[in-house]
A and B are shown apart, each in its own frame.
Chain A
Amino acid sequence: MAVIERGVNNTPSLTTIKRSPLVRTLGAAVAALPAYQSTNADAPPEFTEVGLRYSHYSEDSLSEDKFIAGARGRYDIDVTQLWIEAPIGSSWSIAVDVQNDSMSGASPWFVGTQIDGNPGVIMSGASIYDNRVEVGATTRYFWADGNAGFNVTQSKEDDYEAWAMAFDVAWNSDDNSRTWSASASTSNDKVEPVDGNIPVFIDREDIDTASIYFGVSQILSSTAIVRIGLGYTFSEGYLSDPYKLFDARPDEHSRTALSGGYRKFFPEAQGAIQIDYRYYSDDWGTDSHTAEIAWQQNFDRFALTPYLRYYSQREADFFSVIADLDEKFYADDFRLSSYGAMTVGLRSSIQIGEWQMEGQLERYESDNDWGLYDGEAAPALVNFWRATIGISWRFD
């Protein structure tokens, strides 16, 4: 949008005018009208937004019948995130994101056999404490038909340091009904395990990862949108878990994921149904399905979204409940086993003036019997609660 200035005049250009609260209020009502619903030219955010989010993740203790030794209490993680996003001029935005994860609890060390013959977990002896700090910065350029962003992120903890760079671009079709998006990223991780409660056998190792993604979303009508995307990620380096006693994984890992989603808004109900699906497959023999269904119910300045997610995966080729050390690659990590998982959750958000508050609570449970694929049950399968609260503030 622009008023082009004439040589002799000083007509103010709309591109340099900051939209007043009055015009923004009217603009919000204008945007709801059918005549404007495909005119969403890409533009930087109109406001500066500052937000703070806190999330608590808590794993259930390992049940008595699956426990052999160590500490039964599993991970608790507190995540605190602070972000700021601001427009710069009429075509750019910048965002900075700082996140702190603080972990405590015991983790499965290896799987052995109990007196009754069933597999049981030997946990790390006592609580592990770790702190991770991640800092990311994104700059984004907007033009009439799309936008492109560049992100750099550094993550650091006692025993781990990672640098990542990502570039993404999205562009809209002439009639704005279709958006293509593509991204590429690369990261380098350095693992330097610390000898604490668990003995480790490496000093320092590297992991290099590269990934690409291509996606398209299509507006089907004024109330429906569908999207589909394909991503590929390749890692090489030290991909085993240094904190597990019996864990020897290949030093290359390539994975592919196909994802799709559908959103349909029902004006009479003031609500929208959201259906998402993802298929994942990798060269370690694992593949998985994730399906989620959610209903977003809008109230005046308030929205509630209950959701249900199902996940099922096939075990990796080198997984066994008790690691088979005769093989070249072996692991007893429950995350590589065959299992199914259900997540039930509720998201809510409320808008009061320039303030937005959000809350989320979810319960995750996993079970070998719930999966679509055969495979022995890993005793360390996890269940957890996660609660999130956040607040953000927009200003000029």
Chain B
Amino acid sequence: MASAGVLTNSTIVTEHTFKVMGGPARLVIEHAPDHAASARVACQAVEALLRDLEARYSRYREDSLISQINRLAGTGKLTTVDEETLALLEFCERLWEQSQGLFDPTAGILRQVWDFSRGQQGDVSELPNLLGKVSWTKVVQSEEGIALSDAGMELDFGGIVKEYGADKAAQSLRDSGFNHALIELAGDIVAVGNKCSGAPWQVGISDPDAPSETLVTIELSNCALATSGDYQRFIEINGRRYSHFLNPHTGWPVEGAASVSVISDSCLTAGAVATVACLNASEGATAWLTTAGLPWLRVEQAGECSGPLALAHPADAIGRN
């Protein structure tokens, strides 16, 4: 359908920006001029499917599936879930196993202790109580549905839904016949094919400390780049900087990277590998990223960059100081 755009001078670009899942979303489709109307329809369809994912999986929405599961925590009542949710749970299970429990979708309640918006340490005496409610093994699944075994437990798909949404958006565009597109969901990027000219998409990994600055420019074609981490959100304790990632075993923030970016064929895999890297302290993160074997870039709290993607630029261009 949109492949006629190999003639660069006859290619036009449809762009659509909106806000979803608490962040900015941008869709760019390159296509032949006579597909402008269907490109707009395809953008609307992508926006709708992302809003649908948000409606189902946001923990901020009272009527979401996740809120319903969380409300029934400890009651023994099962919530029926669809196949897509079951498959997402299965993905969580694998990632939980592979990360030795560092990735735990029930760890969200630990945020009650740490106030990242003010950069303050909370009441750590609450931690033992909260840690008792953090355990993926207490997520009960049966043929009839899913339940959280203890009252006060919370399930949070925040770590994977945006990345999954980016992949789903890419698939939706491909299914509509658009094979030259870029999807950006707040730092998670999926490149659908090349640009119409045949050139790859150029994307920047932004400086966590100065989001308008680009640390590294990478060329993507038919693959995804996910970045975990947020330099704005950290806590300083006794002069040491901690990230907003919370270790589900200790309940404490991780003294780890400011951000980790990973490239993979799916944004979900890239995001999962990047998130677990952020949940590890330095040495553990490097070991994990090496095990994964995907291209990565790690930006430390102090600003140094490391990883195969850091080599993408001369060293002096990467250092931020």
Q: Chain A interface (Cβ within 8 Å of chain B)?
A: 1-6, 8-12, 14, 17-20, 22-23, 25-30, 32-36, 38-39, 174-175, 267-268
Chain B interface, >50% SS class:
helix
Report the count of interface residues on B (CB-CB < 8 A): 48
Q: Which of A11, A12, A14, A29 contacts B91 (CB 8 A)?
A: A29
> Which of the residues A2, A10, A29, A175 comes within 8 Å of B175, measured between beta carbons?
A175
Contact indicator B221/A11 (Cβ below 8 Å): no
Given A17-B294, A26-B91, A9 and B83 contact (CB-CB distance below 8 Å): no
Cβ of B273 and Cβ of A23 under 8 Å apart? yes
User: Which of B19-27, B121-129, B241-249, B259-267 is near enough to bind chain A?
Assistant: B259-267
| A interface secondary structure, majority | loop
From A1, A11, A22, A27, B295 is in contact (CB under 8 Å) with A11
A23 touches B312 (CB 8 A): no
Given known pairs A35-B164, A38-B175, A267-B83, the reply for A10 and B312 (CB within 8 Å) is yes
Task: Find out whether the CB atom of A19 lies under 8 angstroms from the CB atom of B293.
Answer: yes
8 nearest CB pairs, A to B: A20-B293, A35-B168, A9-B312, A4-B200, A29-B91, A29-B94, A33-B87, A32-B87
Closest to A19 in B: B293
- A3-B295, A12-B308, A175-B177 are contacts. A27–B269 as well, Cβ < 8 Å? yes
> What's the nearest-Cβ distance from chain A to residue B100, in Å?
12
Cα A10 to Cα B309 with chains together (Å): 8
A360 CA to B98 CA, complexed, in Å: 35
| Binary flags per residue of B265-289, CB closer than 8 Å to A gives 1, else 0 | 1101100110000000000000000
Q: Are B312 and A20 in contact (CB under 8 A)?
A: no
Contact across chains for A36 and B175 when beta carbons are under 8 A apart: no
A335 to chain B, nearest CB (A): 47
Pick the contact of A25 from B98, B164, B177 — CB < 8 Å? B98
B313: chain A residues within 8 A (beta carbon) = 8-9
Bound CA–CA A174/B173 (angstroms) = 12
Chain B residues within an 8 Å CB radius of A4: 200, 219-221
Q: Mind listing 24 A-B residue pairs with CB under 8 Å?
A: A3-B221, A4-B219, A8-B313, A11-B309, A12-B295, A14-B223, A17-B295, A20-B292, A22-B293, A23-B264, A25-B98, A26-B94, A26-B98, A26-B268, A29-B87, A29-B95, A32-B91, A33-B84, A34-B87, A34-B168, A35-B168, A174-B177, A174-B179, A268-B143
Closest to B312 in A: A9
- Contact, CB under 8 Å: B200 / A32: no
Query: What CA separation (Å) do A218 and B175 show in the bound complex?
Result: 15
Instruction: Using CB atoms, name the residue of chain B closest to A175.
Output: B175
For residue A39, which residues in chain B have a CB less than 8 angstroms away from its CB? 171, 174
Min Cβ gap B217→A in Å is: 8
User: Knowing A22-B98, A27-B269, A30-B269 touch, does A3 contact B91 (C-beta < 8 A)?
Assistant: no
> Is B167 in contact with A35, judged by CB distance below 8 angstroms?
yes
B222 within 8 A of A: yes
Q: Inside 8 A of B143's CB, which chain A residues have their CB?
A: 268
Instruction: Indicate if B81 sits at the interface (CB-CB under 8 A).
Output: no
Q: Give chain B residues whose Cβ lies under 8 Å from the Cβ of A267.
A: 83
User: Using Cβ atoms and an 8 Å threshold, which residues of chain A touch B220?
Assistant: 3-4
Complex Cα spacing A17 to B168, Å:
24
- Among A10, A12, A18, A29, the residue within 8 A (CB) of B90 is A29
Chain B residues in 8 Å Cβ range of A17: 293-295
Residues of B within 8 A of A11 (CB): 218-219, 295, 308-309, 311-312
- How far does the Cβ of B301 sit from chain A's closest Cβ, in whole Å? 24
Q: B217 to chain A: which residues have CB within 8 Å?
A: 6
- The answer to whether A36 touches B171 (Cβ under 8 A) is yes
- Whether A30 and B221, one on each chain, are in contact in the complex, defined by CB atoms closer than 8 angstroms, is no
Interface pair B219/A5, CB less than 8 Å apart: yes
**Which of A17, A23, A36, A174 has the largest number of chain B CB atoms within 10 A?**
A23
A14 touching B269, Cβ below 8 Å:
no
A23 with B293: CB separation less than 8 A:
yes
Chain B, 298-316, contact with A by CB distance < 8 Å: what is the 0/1 string? Answer: 0000000000110111100
Query: Is the pair A2, B171 in contact by a Cβ cutoff of 8 Å?
Result: no
**Measured CA separation A28–B263 after assembly (Å):** 17
Assess whether B212 is interfacial by the CB under 8 Å rule: no
Contact A36 B167 (CB under 8 A): yes
Do the beta carbons of A3 and B223 come within 8 Å of each other? yes
Pick from A10, A18, A29, A33: contact of B311, CB below 8 A: A10
Residues of B within 8 A of A12 (CB): 295, 308
The answer on a CB contact under 8 Å between A33 and B164 is yes
